[in-house]
Amino acid sequence: MLQPVEIFPNARQTLRRSVAHLDSDVIAGRWDIPRKHRILDMSDQGMRVASGTRLKCGEHVVLCFTPPGWWLHGELTVFAEVKRETRRDAENPATMGLEFIDMPDGARADLRHCLRGFPPPLPTAATKVRRELVWVDVLVTYTEDLGDRVNTFEVSDRMATLQTRDLAPAPLSGLVTGGRRPYQWKHAIA
């Protein structure tokens, strides 16, 4: 039988961090001079910039910027590729998503370390869930009574028992709200 299912979009590879008051010079082949763009968020894989003039997806640019806490290394210059571009709407500026192409592994690790402690950007829209129909031979209905409520869910007949050795728990990302150093307790309750 055909059964409707909800498909959630894939998560990002790395957690983006919101950086304030940070600019980047963007050098593109069709521009005469470098143009300054405000960085909206950044990860060790790329950045999103507010842009008055957008470039097409697939174009290569050179980025020159100084990440927060990067005072020891000076300015960072990397090649990047435009991965996505969005138009300006009533509330948000036009943006470009840029992916770093040739960043050395050591610089990538340093950038990841510098961005630690910065919060992720606030979500601007609800997650878009796609609905599709899939063929299911048999649905098995499970019901659990928790006293104050009853949970009922249906799964397809393709189920298997998992052994503890088959599970490999791993964090999906770093701690989102963590600071640079652990919290120090100032008062104790006796």
Residue with tokens 């210059």: 77
Write down the pLDDT at residue 49: 92
Give the fold, CATH level 3, of 17-115.
Thrombin, subunit H (2.40.10)
Write down the pLDDT at residue 148: 86
Give the start-to-end residue ranges of the domains of the chain.
2-8+126-166, 17-115
Q: What is the pLDDT of residues 6-25, one digit of tens each?
A: 776 655 667 788 887 889 99
Q: Is residue 158's pLDDT more than 60?
A: no
Mean model confidence pLDDT for the chain? 79
Q: pLDDT class for 153, splitting at 50, 70, 90?
A: confident
Q: What mean pLDDT is predicted for residues 108-132?
A: 79
Write down the pLDDT at residue 88: 85
pTM comes to 0.60
Best CA proximity match to 16, nearest among 137, 122, 107, 142: 122
Write down the pLDDT at residue 187: 66
Surface-to-core class of residue 115, CB atoms within 10 Å of its CB (0-12 exposed, 13-18 middle, 19+ buried): buried
CB neighbours (10 Å) of residue 43? Answer: 20
DSSP β-bridge partners for residue 24: 37, 65
